[in-house]
Structures are given as structure tokens and as C-alpha cells.
């Protein structure tokens, strides 16, 4: 990971590949690298789809090592959705493979002259980029099948579906999982549209002949990793809940807490939630005789294993096990309680290459506009088909919830910085509202997952219905998350890291043993703060102000049941999040 | 004009009308009143289509008097298009009638509970508001015919077409002209969408039995008005060019100057411009035996008379004489050189109630996206029909050029603050670029018409291709315009006012004689500055920064012929516009 691969897609005579030393970016990984590079190299007022924007794809600091959970891939750019800086990260195999191939980052730059579509192949012998217009408008699953035929099964792919080619603001960058399916996505903020604007359909990685990245102190690294894994296995969330039910274990929990946004944030509890809960999902999966629920990771080295497969009644693959955010966005948010329909939409999202959160929320906003009724699963699937076809209606939805609201004149549109809310009502869980409002990313739960402490009582407890303590909670989580996103570690390690000091220490020990450093907890905090500072500085230069760190006003005026609460954290308090 | 009519559309049990004294707003008119009220009463971060936004409709200080040219009606609100403060003003009869009825403003407030559509009738006996769902989805022309049948021909109407009901961001507020046609529009920024969100279809005004507003000093007023009219008649622009050819006199002039944006701002000169010029238009109109070109005003009391009627080959009314901005937006911008097609689109725009600038530019952006080819007049008409029908494609276009670009992934989108550029290329006329970038309104030529001095050599001369002097020019024009927009005077008086000190003085004398004041030129400047300060303060509270006062980056990187120039005014210079 000491080199950076820059591909100038706008070079005269076709794409120009250059491998350069990591230089000033040496030692950085994941979100630290993508955000630092975007902030330094991309003009904040450039058009996200223009020549001046860049797409930075970076494994984390520990990706490609034998360290557990280190398979996250960061994708950074100026977002076509928010207009601000964006880091979206994904599981899947690519981060490990890319890191083992020695790359700290792939950077797509410039703007193609013609309309050729390119594929990039990288293995131990180097980089090959070639125009391949036979790939045009292939959805992700077909594309990956084609790549398997062409390059064999020992590959990992980073790709866009049809949505990315159409430069939709909801377009994701897909990453293949251990089964070589395009089920893992750097989904948020339209990063796939930027890849599409660069004219790159797929990056195929093959690390055959490459070795695991070697730690400076192998023994210490091994020992720290063992402690780390033990910590994850001992924690109830990472050791029991997630492996048993996947992320969808949250449906019943959030519904019980009254924080499950239903019918486009009109209610906080969904009467049919039990029909789409993780428990029901696992039962269904097991009964149908598929490979069973929650039995494997999305990348090698995962010990939490929250992934699964969802089969139809005849036991045929329908989609990966839909995540909680997806069963919510296509489910409760739209008043849909049909797991098969949700799995079908999950597959379509992965196949077209769109963010399931943005997509589901956009469909809910279309329901609010009266295009179809809440609860109409068939109608929702049809709307999603329009996205795949790129009809005008599909383009509207594919441009995200904010644009859908704007085009159809809807007032109640749950977005911050034009990015759709995830699956937690900020009125019933005030801490997550602080994160939605203030993270540089636009509404994003992963940026500072206050659900942990507000609802799951991980890392202590802060009453979700009160405003006290939420600013500090969100701040600390945002700082910790930014640092974790730099390591390449799956964010789910945070549950154990927050609750168990020895697990946090073992993570630091891994970093120190690998790089020969002597970082302390304070250094990790400083890293997180530095990343946030860099991102906020970019956004300020792009024209963002405190006024962009606000929830839509209806969350402050419209109480939500069952707790009958509004979002009560004041603007003045929100403005204190980054005053550390 | 000592009372304000507030209509709370959200009141329990239906709309609640209250007449209140002008109070703190007493003595204000037009843009001064609308912007002051919006800034004071509308929360800057509210949703433009929500209960907290207001639509303020105000005649100018001199509207309803016997003073010439005083028929402009200001419409102010938080814009659904830009998200900032908006004042769009219109000619037509309504301002005079409303002022004579004694109203300084009509303010539509709140949000209707149901989906009834309302009409408001105001005459000497008072205000009557009633639900009338038979008006739903009537285009403006049909609506006005219905109102004539119902209320007779001595009325003036303020209305929305289908676009306003559909809450499109390009929706205008239409005002009837002297022929009782809905041809005059407060067009920009989606003010019609806010009227639609308030559930008001039409405001019918009848001033039968009301008198001209009496000046404090009738003799002085009469004398000043005479001098003022003489000044307008003596100036070549207002005395000759505009009466002869209407605003479309500008086509040949701008094309000659290389500042006529062609094919979505790809070229600065249009080879077919002569086919759609004011000269050709007047010739066509005269040959077809219609009422002739440029023979009447849009409201009683106009002495410039730049309006006309455009008939088809058989002498039947096709539309009002299309304005320069319209012959450009639907014409050269889209590579269309067919005056009949342009007149047809002008009629459709007026009928649906959309801004011709936003609409034409959006269609040009759709052409850039490849939906239809540049030059395809029939295709453009079909696209516009979609807007009328409110299909998904029509909704996209009706949401404006910015959204059209976002939805179709287009990089070259000529907008500032999401509002479409008017008919002047800021690279060939750098002064107007300063206005586009910095006015609180979003790209708007009327906010500081640098064309006057850059091209027409009115008020001196500043070389359009150089950066020197443009900041001061735009600043002075923006200040003067804000003040003129408060008086209710047509902006076209500015040509004479800028060139002839005695005409400027006669305008001040009119104000002083009418109100018993002793204003000086400095007071007028102070008024203009106060308005701009108020508007910029609102925008700052709504989250606007210096970064919003910028042109899209392609104007800085892509030179335009024939002069092969880019926009060269620096960001630092732009930030000096309001440092007076």
C-alpha cells in the first residue's frame, strides 16, 4: 500500500495510467485518505460530474492484513447528491484484494473525451485499461457474470450498474462479496454517478500471487488480533444479535422504541413491523432451505458474520439477506410488510446499482405525492423498474428523495444536505437527529450511530427522548467513526470497542504492531477530529453553513407517535457539535 | 394603500380574511414591502411550500396614481426554486387596480387543510373568498374567460395556471393586461408554486367606484409627471427602439455583440438570429394584418408601449408579442429560428403559467442531455406539452433548468442559485455576469441590467469584454433597480433615468409631491441599499454564502466565440459588490 494508481480518463488519446508513490498520503487509509485527497485536489465549487472532480477508492489502514474485520473500502468524491464531500464505504472483498495488490488508492480523474465505457483490470503484473462498450447498460449481476467468464472466479470487482452510467444521484459503487455477487455497496451520495461520469464501468482485481500484508511485529499483531476477535465474540451485539439475525435484528427493537419511521415519517411505530423483522426474516430463510440466515461474512476475515441469503419459496436465490435499512426503506417507510417484495427490491437496487436507503425513501416521498398508495408493494416494484429503465419517472426517483420531493411539490421530505434519512426517527431518538443534522455527509446513521447509546445501551445510556447529552454523544461517535473508517474496520466493531476498553486497546495494538507505531487512544481521537475538520472545511468552501446542519422543519413542528415528540435539540446546541 | 389584506389559508374552518393597517410597513411599496415583510415574517429555513412561507403581493409606491409607468406588481416569497428570498414583478393592470382599492399588499399565509381551490374577489365593498373546484387545472386563458363571464370585463386578475397548482418551481403568477389576457407574469423563482401551495387559483380585482390615488400636492405631481413622460419620450431606447420593436429589438444587438447565448451557451452568436429578431417580428406582425407590433402598453398609463400582438398566418391571435428573453430562451438558446413556434410556446408558457426563461433554458438543457436535438421546434413544443400535462418528464422540466440538469446528469447547466440565466452571455458581457452571480435573486438580468452600459451605452460605457468597472456598474445598477422596484415603476424608465438627470429628478419630484416628502437622490440610493441588505440578510440566514455568488465553473473554463472569452471577474471582486 505504498503506491497510488491515478487514471486520467480525460487524457489525450485515451485514459492514462500512472502509478505514483503515496507521498504526502503515505500511511493514510480509508476515509482519512479519501477525504484528505478530495479536500486537497478537488475544487469545492466544481461540478460533481465534471473533469475537476475525482473518485478516490481506498482500502483502510489494516485492509489486506490478517486482521479481522478489515475489509471496508472507502469511496470518496464531491457528491452529486449533496454537493459536499462524500465518503461512502462498503464491505465485500475488494478492499483486501486492492490492499494486497499494493495500492493505497485508485484515483479516477478527468473527463473522458468520447462516450466509450472502460474496464480496468489489475493484477500482480500491473494495470490494464480497455474500452469495452459491450458492457454498456449492463446491470451489476450480468456484468459480474461477464467478468467471471472473462477473468475467472478469483477476482473481486468494483462496479457500477445502469444507474451509475445514467449518472443518477442515488447511484452506488458495487463491491462483490465472497460469493462473487455485487451485493455490497458504497451506496450513499451518488458515488456511482461520479464513476459513471469518469466512464469506468468496472475495476476487476485479482490478487493471485500476492501475499497478505506483513506486520512490522507479527507476533504482537497476532496477539492483538486474537484479543480483538475475542472481544467481538464476547459482546452481545457482535457475538450474538448480529450473527443470529443480521442487521435486521433492529426492526423489532426500533419499533418497540417508537423510533421506526413509518409512512414517510408520519408514525414512529409500524403495526406490521413483526412481519419484516429480523426474526421473521431468519425464520423464513431457514424454512425455505436456502443457505440459512446470518451464517457468513461479506468478506474474508469477518468474525461477526451478519450476512445471509434470502431465497424464494422454491429455495432459489432472491437477493442477499436484506439489511435493516433496506427492510425499512422499502418496508415500513412505504408501509410495505412483504419480505419477498422487499428482497426483490433489494436485488433490483443492487442490480441497477442504487442506494437502497435513498431509493426507498424516494419511493415513500412519491407515495406522499400520491403517485401510488402507501403499502402498494407491486406499485413500488414498478416504480423501481422505471429507475432501471431510466424513464423520466425513474430518473426523478434515481435523483433521490430530495429531487423527488422538489419535482412533485412535496413538503415533507426527510433529507439533510439533500441526502435521505436512514431508518431511525430523530424525534424518538434525538441523538441520531444530531448526527443526521451535523455530519458533513448529509443524513447518515453510520456517521455517528447514536442508536448504540440511545437505544442499545452500548457505551452507556443517554435517554433517546431527551435533549440532554445528545450533542456530546453524537460528537464522540462522529469522531470515533471517522477514525474507524480510516482503519478499514467494519463499523460494527464499535459496539465492542465502546463497551470494552480492552477491545479498543487491542485495535490500537493492531495498528501499532502493524505499522511500528506507538499510538494511544488520544491519537485515534485526534485522527477522527482531523478527518472531520478536513471534511467540514471542504464543505464550507463549497458553500455550506450552519444552516445546512439542520433537520427539515417538520421534525420540529410535527410530533410523532407513540411518544408524541418533536426534535427538540436547539440550533445553538447543534452548532456546538464540532466545538470540541 | 394604508391597509394590508392578510388571508390565512390555514385557519380552522377555512380561509380567514383580515384587513389590518399597514403599520410598520406603511409607506413602503413593491419590492421594498415584499422583501421587508418576507425577511421579517418568514423563517428563512422553512419549506417554501409549507405553512410558514408567505406570498406577498404588493403594488408599488406610485401604483394607482396618475403617474406614468407605475403599474408594476411585486410578488415576494421564499422561492421554491432558489431557496432564497424572491421578488418577481409584473406589468399588467393589477397593480393599479389593487392600489386604488386601497391595499398596500395582499398576503397569503398558512397552509390549507383540505385540497379545495379558492378564488378571491375584491371590490369596493370588500373581500370575498370562496372555494371553487371547477377551476382546478384550468390553464390561465380558460380561467380568465371564466372570470370574465362571472365578474364582467372591468376586472384585473392575478392567477396561476396548471403549473402553479402542480407546485412547479418554474410556475409564475399571471397578471392580466389591458385586453384582459393573462400575458404578464411575475415569472421567476416559482412564485406561482407558492400561490398554488396556498390553494389560491385567482385573485379578481374590480376597482369600479374607486378613484385614482390623490397626491398630497396635485400640481407639483402633475408637473413632475409631465417632465418624466417627456424624458421617456426623448430617450432613444424608451422613445424609439422599444415602441418600434418591443424588447426583441435586442436580438440583433446582442447577436452583433457576440453576447447572444446559442445552443445552451456553446456560442455567442446565432447564425439564424435575424430570423427571430425584433425587426423580423415586427415585419411579420404587420404583414399578417394583426393589430401591428409595439403599439400598446401592458397597463394603462404606459407611455413606452413595448407590447404587441403576434398573429398567425391567418391573422388570428397566437400570443402576445413574445419578449426578447422568450425569443431567446425558446429560440437561439435551443437553436430554434421559427417565430411562429416561439410564439406558440410563449402562449403555452402563459397558459400553463410558467417562466419563459426557466422553461426555455430547461428545454435547452434537455437538448444538451440528448432528449431531442437542438433546433427541433416540434420536439420542443412536445416537451412543453408534457409540462402542461404534468407528466414525469413535464414535472422535471417544470422544476427548472437546474433540476433538469441534475436529473439527466448534465454538467453544463446555466444557473446561479438554481435559477436559469437570461439571454446574455456573461463571458461576452462581463457586467451582466456580475449581476447574475451576486444578486440575491439568482441569475436575473433585471436585477442590475449591465447590458445598458456594457452594450447600449446608456449611463456611460464600460467595455463588456473587460473586467474593469463591472463591479461598480453592477453594484450601482442593483441599488438603483431595487429602488425602482419599490416605486412600482417599469424598469424600462431606467434608460432615461440613467442618461438624463432631469428625468431622474422628475421621478423623485413625483414621489415627493405624492407623499409630501423631501427625498433626494441620496435617499433613493439609501432605499435601494436597504432593500438589498434586507434580502441578503434573509439569504444568509437561509444558508447562502459567497460561494453561492458564483457562476457555474464552465463559464470560467470554456471560452465562447466569437470573442473567445471566459468570465474573468475574480471571486474576490465579486465579493466586493455589496461592500459599498
Sort residue B258 into left (φ over 0), alpha (ψ -120 to 50) or beta: left
B371, three cell numbers: 432528449
Last residue of a domain, one of A423, A456, A490: A423
Question: Any CB–CB contact under 8 A between B368 and chain A?
Answer: no
From B437's Cα to the closest Cα of chain A, the distance in A is 13
From A354's Cα to the closest Cα of chain B, the distance in A is 14
Q: Are residues A183 and A252 in the same domain?
A: no
Encode pLDDT of B445-479 as tens digits: 999 999 999 999 999 999 999 999 999 999 999 99
Encode pLDDT of B475-504 as tens digits: 999 999 999 999 999 999 999 999 999 999
Average pLDDT (A6-16) is: 97
From the list A169, A409, A542, the residue facing B547 with the nearest CB is: A542
Residue among A220, A129, A131, A140 at smallest CA distance from A173? A140
Average pLDDT (B359-366) is: 98
* CA A126 to centroid of chain Cα atoms: 29
Q: Are residues A23 and A154 in the same domain?
A: yes
Domain residue limits at A267: 248-423
Q: Are residues A177 and A254 in the same domain?
A: no
In CATH, what number is assigned to the domain containing residue B315?
A: 1.10.569.10
Whole-angstrom distance, CA of residue A122 vs CA of residue A101: 8
Contacts of A550 in chain B (CB under 8 A): 45
Selected residues 393-422 of chain A with any CB under 8 Å from a CB in chain B: 393, 395-396, 399, 403, 406-411
Cis peptide before B424 (omega within 30 of 0): no
Over its C-alpha atoms, chain B yields an Rg (Å, rounded) of 22
Contacts of B52 in chain A (CB under 8 A): 553
Per-residue pLDDT for B539 more than 90?
Answer: yes
Per-residue pLDDT for B291 more than 90?
Answer: no
**CB atoms < 10 A from the CB of A19, how many?**
12
From the list B52, B392, B550, the residue facing A396 with the nearest CB is: B392
**Tally of CA atoms within 13 A in the half-sphere of B277 that contains its CB:** 20
Residue A501's contacts (CB-CB under 8 Å, 6 or more residues apart) are: none
Whole-angstrom distance, CA of residue A184 vs CA of residue A144: 13
Task: Tell me whether residue A525 is in a domain.
Answer: no
In the DSSP assignment, the letter for residue B329 is I
From the list B46, B167, B541, the residue facing A553 with the nearest CB is: B46
Average pLDDT (A324-350) is: 98
**CB atoms < 10 A from the CB of B481, how many?**
23
Average pLDDT (B169-184) is: 97
Q: CA angle at residue B574 from B568 to B580, to 5 degrees?
A: 140
Q: Are residues B267 and B170 in the same domain?
A: no
By DSSP bridging, strand B16-21 and strand B3-8 are antiparallel
From A247's Cα to the closest Cα of chain B, the distance in A is 32
Q: Count up the domains in chain B and report the number.
A: 2
Q: How large a percentage of chain B has pLDDT more than 70? A: 99
Task: Tell me whether residue A452 is in a domain.
Answer: no
Contacts of A46 in chain B (CB under 8 A): 553
Q: Are residues A25 and A131 in the same domain?
A: yes
In the sheet that holds B103-109, the strands lie side by side as B16-21, B3-8, B103-109, B55-59, B73-78, B85-90
Q: Per-residue confidence at A296, pLDDT binned at 50, 70, 90?
A: confident
Query: For residue A545, what is the nearest residue in chain B, using CA coordinates?
Result: B543
CB A379 within 8 A of CB A385: no
Whole-angstrom distance, CA of residue A407 vs CA of residue B387: 12
Query: For residue A194, what is the nearest residue in chain B, using CA coordinates?
Result: B409
In CATH, what number is assigned to the domain containing residue B29?
A: 3.60.9.10
pLDDT at A289: 75
Encode pLDDT of B307-344 as tens digits: 999 999 988 999 999 999 999 999 999 999 999 999 99
Average pLDDT (B46-60) is: 98
Task: Tell me whether residue A460 is in a domain.
Answer: no
CB B71 within 8 A of CB B302: yes
Q: Are residues B180 and B302 in the same domain?
A: no
Whole-angstrom distance, CA of residue A486 vs CA of residue A557: 38
Sort residue B400 into left (φ over 0), alpha (ψ -120 to 50) or beta: left
Task: Tell me whether residue B421 is in a domain.
Answer: yes
Whole-angstrom distance, CA of residue B391 vs CA of residue B384: 10
Q: Where are the alpha helices (DSSP H) in B153-297?
A: 162-165, 191-197, 218-234, 236, 242-245, 250-256, 278-287
Please identify which residue in the block is written with the cell numbers 414525469. Answer: B392
The DSSP element (H or E) to which A532 belongs, if any, is helix A521-541
CB A363 within 8 A of CB A377: no
pLDDT at A291: 59
Whole-angstrom distance, CA of residue A197 vs CA of residue A199: 5
From the list B395, B550, B554, the residue facing A408 with the nearest CB is: B395
From B183's Cα to the closest Cα of chain A, the distance in A is 25
pLDDT at B293: 47
Q: Are residues B196 and B258 in the same domain?
A: no
Q: Are residues A410 and A301 in the same domain?
A: yes
Selected residues 545-564 of chain A with any CB under 8 Å from a CB in chain B: 545-548, 550, 552-554
Q: What SS3 state is found at A401?
A: helix
Whole-angstrom distance, CA of residue A428 vs CA of residue A565: 7
**CB atoms < 10 A from the CB of B401, how many?**
32
Asked if B409 lies within 8 A of A197 by C-beta distance, the reply is: yes
**CB atoms < 10 A from the CB of A336, how many?**
30
Whole-angstrom distance, CA of residue A310 vs CA of residue A285: 6
A219, three cell numbers: 507476533
Burial profile A359-374: b = 16 or more Cβ within 10 angstroms, e = fewer: bbbbbbbbbbbebbeb
Contacts of B406 in chain A (CB under 8 A): 80, 169, 399, 403
Q: Are residues A154 and A279 in the same domain?
A: no
Encode pLDDT of A112-122 as tens digits: 999 999 999 99
DSSP labels for B398-432? HT-HHHHHHHHT-S---EETTEEP-SS-TTTSHHH
Contacts of B169 in chain A (CB under 8 A): 406
Q: Are residues A306 and A176 in the same domain?
A: no
pLDDT at A292: 52
Query: For residue A410, what is the nearest residue in chain B, using CA coordinates?
Result: B49
Task: Tell me whether residue A222 is in a domain.
Answer: no
From the list B43, B169, B547, the residue facing A406 with the nearest CB is: B169
pLDDT at A38: 98
Task: Tell me whether residue B118 is in a domain.
Answer: yes
Encode pLDDT of B382-397 as tens digits: 999 999 999 999 999 9
Encode pLDDT of A102-112 as tens digits: 999 999 999 99
Last residue of a domain, one of B397, B425, B453: B425
Q: Are residues A355 and A301 in the same domain?
A: yes
Q: Per-residue confidence at A1, pLDDT binned at 50, 70, 90?
A: confident
Whole-angstrom distance, CA of residue B442 vs CA of residue B81: 9
Task: Tell me whether residue A496 is in a domain.
Answer: no
Question: Any CB–CB contact under 8 A between B370 and chain A?
Answer: no
CB A255 within 8 A of CB A270: yes
Encode pLDDT of A345-354 as tens digits: 999 999 999 9
Per-residue pLDDT for B166 more than 80?
Answer: yes
Q: What is the mean pLDDT of chain A?
A: 96
CB B548 within 8 A of CB B417: yes
pLDDT at A362: 98
Q: What is the mean pLDDT of chain B?
A: 96
Whole-angstrom distance, CA of residue A273 vs CA of residue A293: 19
Per-residue pLDDT for B409 more than 80?
Answer: yes
Question: Any CB–CB contact under 8 A between B95 and chain A?
Answer: no
- Taking CA atoms, A155 is separated from A96, A179, B549, in Å, by 11, 10, 47
From the list A49, A407, A543, the residue facing B395 with the nearest CB is: A407
Asked if B406 lies within 8 A of A80 by C-beta distance, the reply is: yes
In this structure, what are the phi and psi dihedrals at residue B245, rounded to the nearest 5 degrees?
-125, 0
Whole-angstrom distance, CA of residue A523 vs CA of residue A509: 12
Max Cα-Cα span within chain B: 62
Per-residue pLDDT for B570 more than 90?
Answer: yes
From the list A396, A411, A544, the residue facing B49 with the nearest CB is: A411
Q: Are residues A387 and A278 in the same domain?
A: yes
What angle do the packed helices A430-438 and A470-487 form, to 10 degrees? 60
Per-residue pLDDT for A229 more than 70?
Answer: yes
Contacts of A399 in chain B (CB under 8 A): 403, 406-407
Last residue of a domain, one of A375, A395, A423: A423
Task: Tell me whether residue B461 is in a domain.
Answer: no
From A63's Cα to the closest Cα of chain B, the distance in A is 33
Average pLDDT (B353-359) is: 98
pLDDT at B574: 98
Q: Burial-class residue B127 by CB neighbours within 10 Å (0-12, 13-18, 19+).
A: middle
Q: Compute, in degrees rounded to 10, the torsion defined by CA atoms B560, B564, B570, B573.
A: -100
Encode pLDDT of B223-276 as tens digits: 999 999 999 999 999 999 999 899 999 999 999 999 999 999 999 999 999 999
Own/partner contacts of B568-573, CB < 8 Å, gap of 24 or more, are B568/B430, B568/B467, B569/B430, B569/B433, B569/B434, B569/B437, B569/B467, B569/B470, B569/B471, B570/B467, B571/B546, B573/B434, B573/B467, B573/B470, B573/B471
Contacts of A548 in chain B (CB under 8 A): 543
Residue among A480, A488, A476, A477 at smallest CA distance from A515? A488
From the list A407, A552, A553, the residue facing B403 with the nearest CB is: A407
Whole-angstrom distance, CA of residue B414 vs CA of residue B402: 8
Q: Per-residue confidence at A203, pLDDT binned at 50, 70, 90?
A: very high
Q: Which of A307-316, B136-145, B413-422 has the lowest mean pLDDT?
A: A307-316
Amino acid at each position: 500500500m505504498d503506491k497510488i494508481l491515478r487514471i486520467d480518463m480525460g487524457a489525450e488519446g485515451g485514459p492514462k495510467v500512472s502509478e505514483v508513490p503515496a507521498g504526502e498520503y503515505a500511511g493514510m487509509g480509508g476515509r482519512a485518505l479519501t477525504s484528505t485527497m478530495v479536500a486537497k485536489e478537488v475544487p469545492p465549487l466544481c461540478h460533481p460530474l465534471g473533469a475537476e472532480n475525482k473518485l478516490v477508492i481506498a482500502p483502510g489502514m489494516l485492509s489486506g492484513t490478517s486482521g479481522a474485520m478489515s475489509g471496508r473500502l472507502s469511496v470518496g468524491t464531491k457528491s452529486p447528491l449533496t454537493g459536499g464531500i462524500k465518503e461512502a464505504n462498503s464491505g465485500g472483498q475488494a478492499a483486501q484484494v486492492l490492499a494486497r495488490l499494493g495500492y493505497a488508492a485508485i484515483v479516477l480523474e478527468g473527463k473522458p473525451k468520447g462516450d466509450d465505457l472502460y474496464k480496468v483490470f489489475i493484477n500482480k503484473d500491473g494495470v490494464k485499461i480497455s474500452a469495452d462498450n459491450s458492457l454498456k447498460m449492463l446491470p451489476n449481476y450480468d456484468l459480474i457474470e461477464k467478468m467471471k467468464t472473462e477473468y475467472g472466479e478469483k477476482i473481486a470487482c468494483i462496479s457500477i450498474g445502469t444507474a451509475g452510467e445514467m449518472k443518477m444521484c442515488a447511484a452506488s459503487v458495487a463491491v462483490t462479496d465472497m460469493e462473487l455477487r455485487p451485493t455490497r455497496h458504497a451506496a450513499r451520495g451518488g458515488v456511482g454517478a461520479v464513476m459513471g461520469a469518469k466512464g469506468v464501468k468496472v475495476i476487476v482485481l485479482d490478487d493471485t500471487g500476492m501475499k497478505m500484508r506483513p506486520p512490522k511485529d507479527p507476533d504482537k499483531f497476532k496477539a492483538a488480533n486474537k484479543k480483538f476477535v475475542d472481544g467481538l465474540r464476547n459482546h452481545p451485539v457482535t457475538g450474538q444479535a448480529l450473527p443470529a439475525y443480521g442487521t435486521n435484528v433492529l426492526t423489532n427493537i426500533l419499533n418497540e422504541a417508537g423510533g421506526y419511521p413509518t409512512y414517510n415519517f408520519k408514525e414512529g411505530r409500524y403495526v406490521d413491523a413483526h412481519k419484516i423483522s429480523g426474526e421473521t426474516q431468519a425464520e423464513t430463510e431457514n424454512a425455505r432451505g436456502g443457505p440459512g440466515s446470518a451464517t457468513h461474512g461479506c468478506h474474508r476475515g469477518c468474525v461477526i458474520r451478519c450476512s445471509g441469503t434470502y431465497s424464494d419459496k422454491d429455495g432459489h436465490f432472491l437477493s442477499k439477506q436484506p439489511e435493516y435499512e433496506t427492510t425499512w426503506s422499502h418496508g415500513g417507510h412505504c408501509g410495505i410488510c412483504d419480505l419477498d417484495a422487499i428482497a426483490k427490491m433489494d436485488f433490483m437496487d443492487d442490480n441497477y446499482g442504487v442506494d437502497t436507503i435513498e431509493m426507498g425513501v424516494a419511493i415513500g416521498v412519491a407515495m406522499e405525492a400520491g403517485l401510488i398508495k402507501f403499502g402498494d408493494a407491486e406499485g413500488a416494484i414498478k416504480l423501481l423498474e422505471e429507475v432501471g429503465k431510466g424513464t423520466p419517472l425513474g430518473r426523478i426517483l434515481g435523483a433521490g428523495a430530495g429531487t423527488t420531493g422538489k419535482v412533485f411539490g412535496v413538503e415533507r421530505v426527510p433529507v439533510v444536505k439533500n441526502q435521505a434519512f436512514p431508518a431511525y426517527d430523530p424525534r424518538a431518538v434525538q441523538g441520531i437527529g444530531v448526527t443526521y443534522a451535523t455530519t458533513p455527509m448529509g443524513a447518515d446513521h453510520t456517521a455517528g450511530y447514536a442508536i448504540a447509546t440511545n437505544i442499545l445501551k452500548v457505551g452507556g445510556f443517554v435517554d433517546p427522548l431527551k435533549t440532554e447529552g445528545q450533542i456530546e454523544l453524537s460528537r464522540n461517535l462522529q469522531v470515533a467513526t471517522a477514525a474507524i473508517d480510516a482503519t478499514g474496520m467494519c463499523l460494527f466493531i464499535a459496539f465492542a470497542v465502546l463497551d470494552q476498553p480492552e477491545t479498543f486497546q487491542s485495535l490500537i495494538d493492531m495498528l501499532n504492531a502493524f505499522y511500528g507505531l506507538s499510538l494511544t487512544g488520544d491519537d485515534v481521537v485526534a485522527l477522527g477530529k482531523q478527518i472531520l475538520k478536513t471534511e467540514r472545511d471542504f464543505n464550507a468552501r463549497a458553500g455550506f453553513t450552519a444552516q445546512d446542519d439542520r433537520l427539515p422543519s417538520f421534525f420540529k413542528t410535527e410530533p410523532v407517535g407513540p411518544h408524541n415528540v418533536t426534535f427538540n435539540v436547539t440550533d445553538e446546541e447543534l452548532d456546538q457539535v464540532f466545538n470540541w
